[in-house]
Structure 1
């Protein structure tokens, strides 16, 4: 089946709940906790993502961010990817980067992260950003391969004191 990116929408409530619970069932507590608010109040979770894409009601230190979900004709949510057009704070400019993404644990090692990143890169206006910064945990070999296979050029290895980990950052050209 052909995957595509969609913006968060209420019609995906059951599928997104399954996506969130996949992290729980694989003992990925940090990721589960990030997405868990969707289980408590899905309409608010979706509205928050839509507001973020407009720069509305951003928490202190946050920047405008577009969220997309990787899905297909079955409406399965395989992953999420987020794009920040501007890196207006030090954390995002150095570590967080323009793009962050997550694939549900049961859908990893299927090439879906590469597809998701390719689809997002195609959406970016090259006049807005001719290249984007992407970071990943230095122990996440799969994510490094995804970024490198999409043209990522090594930038730096830095300590991420927010998440207490070492991060490798890359510049990826926008096609």
Structure 2
């Protein structure tokens, strides 16, 4: 009983690659943690498998975002991972890039160089952040990550309380 309550209270959290979005941990984490015995509950295990599936789908969406950005910025000297992070958060939460010798968003350095090359990259980022396909992809990532917490709060909790 104590392990179940501890699991529900601690809300084990992992993070989406590159984007650092907090999401509930899946079976790999649970199997290697003090909560591993919870996986003996078949109903709980099946609910964790749903989390694993959604996590995989998010990973595919992040990979798709990165690939699109690689294609769109193939001729620019940018840190593609920082660019993906920045575009995601600019679209989903807003925020401004800081322009100087380096182009920054939060603690990420997207690019560095002279003012004219940085200005060209900024214009391309502005265009990219308004691309309906990019916006849709980012919205989908956000929705899936939020759905994981909803699943955790409703289905995982219920599966543990019913056992």
TM-score of Structure 1 vs Structure 2, range by shorter chain: under 0.3
- Return the structure number with greater helix share: 2
If the length of structure 1 is used for normalisation, what is the TM-score?
0.23
If the length of structure 2 is used for normalisation, what is the TM-score?
0.25
| Greater C-alpha Rg | 2
Higher RCO (CA-CA < 8 Å; seq separation 6+):
2
- Return the structure number with greater strand share: 1
